[in-house]
Structure 1
Amino acid sequence: MLISLIFDMDGTLFQTNKILEASLQETFDHLRELNKWEKETPIEKYQEIMGVPLPVVWETLLPNHGEKVRREANEWFHESLIANIRAGKGDLYPHVIEVFSYLKNNNFSIYIASNGQKEYLQEIVNYYQLDHWVTETFSIQQIPSQNKADLVQAILTKYSIKKGAVIGDRISDINAAKSNGLLSIGCNFDFAQQEELSQANIMINSFLELKTIFANLNRDYLEVKN
């Protein structure tokens, strides 16, 4: 039986921090030009909330602005992110391709479940040719509830998954695993918070650790609990 692994994207597979600051700065420069922002760009605030759905992002960063401004800011932000990806300014975390190749060769199926927008996720998948290893990439936009646990459940249902794990860096990933009876693996990478990672079944500091984990782990432990 195939074992299915569901990976987060930002802060887990893709080093979003390499393009985040520049894209966010450009977005708030637009707002300043329109006299709709006077303060410093809230980069640290965004880093704190990485992993939440986009509506929550802009409600948090622009609490005193209306929906129209938030929607425009989101559009500018994603245009900049995509431009930076195409320019090669982003990067995957070290050993992602090596580990994906190992997993694929050892009867694991790989999926991506992210709170990112479809176009943004597809740009990353295309640029790094992740479709070679990844069965399908899912965006939170596909789920009305905007809840990552529901997104993971949709993946399990579509592919009749019986065993698996969720690998991510934030509490939404850990909760999505627990809610669906999956193993949770927390990635101690750029945006991770120790309080959240402590709730994962396993924590890793490097992608390479996944090779050892899945080589030695009892596969019965990965069975989805109904």
Structure 2
Amino acid sequence: MAILFDMDGTLFDTNTVLAPALDATFSELRAAGLWQGATPFDTYTKIMGVPLPVVWQTLCPAHTAAQHVASNILFQQHLHEMINTQGALYRGVRDTLATLAEHHALYIVSNGNAPYLDKIVTHFELTPYITAIYSIDRVASGDKGELMRLLLTEQGITEASVVGDRRSDIEGALVNGLTAYAAGYGYGGQEEWVGAQAVLSDFPSLKKLIT
């Protein structure tokens, strides 16, 4: 059986890099005269895990599409810097992945872009455990359910479980006929986990549910 993992709020504790990277980005936007006021931390926290175009449309609704792209490039650069210096996986992630990889094929399926996901997997030495990484930029629709369907088709998978913290993870699993486990320690809320087989209190508890 295969296991499909979300990244932010499931494997990687994005809060360790989010605030400084977001603040650095908006400092540059303020310096360029493109933003006034405080960095919108609360707004971003509420939408963390959604596709990147939605992030910038929400944070900066008055900006053009080109400005959204430019802001995202800045943000990704700062994120990569922060991953090197202060990023962190959730407790027990590496050891749990190592155990699960002994009997299952493990995949990353995320709304993050490819360079960001590759950076985390490489930096935290997860490569030996991950069969493939599927980023949201592989499907034009930006729909996570479609991304999961692409993975299932390309990898020839007929049975799989999905682990994630947001509604898109749970709904994506269900629409593809997969078992869903909610990462209750992540950024989603109970209303987003409807349909999940179980809600995990921490990542290592997954080993008790998937053997």
TM-score, normalised to structure 1, is 0.91
Which residue of structure 2 aligns with residue 91 of structure 1?
Answer: 88
Greater shift in the superposed pair: 170-179 or 32-41: 32-41
Q: Secondary structure at the match of 1:199?
A: coil
Superposition deviation, residue 197 in structure 1: 2.0
Q: Pick from 56, 59, 81 the counterpart of residue 57 of structure 2.
A: 59
What amino acid is aligned across from residue 172 of structure 1 in structure 2? S
Partner of 1:168: 164
Structure 1 residues 111-150: aligned runs within 5 Å: 111-150=107-146
Structure 1 runs of 4+ aligned residues shifted over 4 Å read none
**8 Å contact from structure 1 (residues 17, 190) kept in 2:** no
> What's 1:36 paired with?
34
Partner Cα separation in structure 1 for residue 25 and residue 185 of structure 2: 25
Which residue of the partner structure matches residue 147 of structure 2? 151
CA contact (8 A) 2:144 2:168 kept: yes
Give the Å deviation of 1:142: 0.6
Superposed CA deviations along residues 83-115 of structure 1, whole A, max 9, x for unmatched, are 11122x10111111111111112x111000011
Matching residue of 1:222: none
Partner of 1:103: 100
**Structure 2 residue corresponding to 1:26, chosen from 7, 24, 27:** 24
Secondary structure at 2:203 match in 1: coil
Q: Is the 8 A contact 2:170 2:194 kept in 1?
A: no
In the alignment, structure 1 segments of 5+ residues that lack a partner are 216-226
What is the RMSD computed on CA atoms of the aligned residues? 0.9
- 2:174, 2:195 within 8 Å by CA — same for their partners in 1? no
Corresponding position of 1:218? none
Q: Which residue number corresponds to residue 69 of structure 2?
A: 71
Alpha-carbon distance between aligned partners in 2 of 1:199 and 1:49, rounded to the nearest angstrom: 20
AA partner of residue 20 (structure 1):
L
Tell me the equivalent position of 2:78.
80
Q: Tell me the distance in 2 between the aligned counterparts of 1:39 and 1:170.
A: 29
Distance in 1, Cα, partners of 2:185 & 2:55: 20
1:36-57: CA deviation from partner (whole Å, max 9, x where unpaired)? 1112111111111111110000
**Per-residue deviation, 1:129:** 1.5
Identity of aligned residues (%): 38
Count of residues paired in the alignment? 211
Query: Which residue of structure 1 aligns with residue 189 of structure 2?
Result: 193
Q: Hey, what's the Cα distance between the residues in 2 that align with 1:5 and 1:113? A: 10
Q: Distance in 1 between matches of 2:204 and 2:83?
A: 24
On the 8 A contact 1:5/1:109 being kept in 2, the answer is: yes
- Equivalent AA in structure 2 for residue 155 of structure 1: L
Q: How far apart are 1:167 and its partner, in Å?
A: 0.3
Amino acid at match of 2:51: P
> Once the 2 structures are TM-superposed, how far is the Cα of residue 200 of structure 1 from its aligned partner?
1.6
SS in structure 1 at match of 2:163: strand
Q: Secondary structure at the match of 1:166?
A: strand
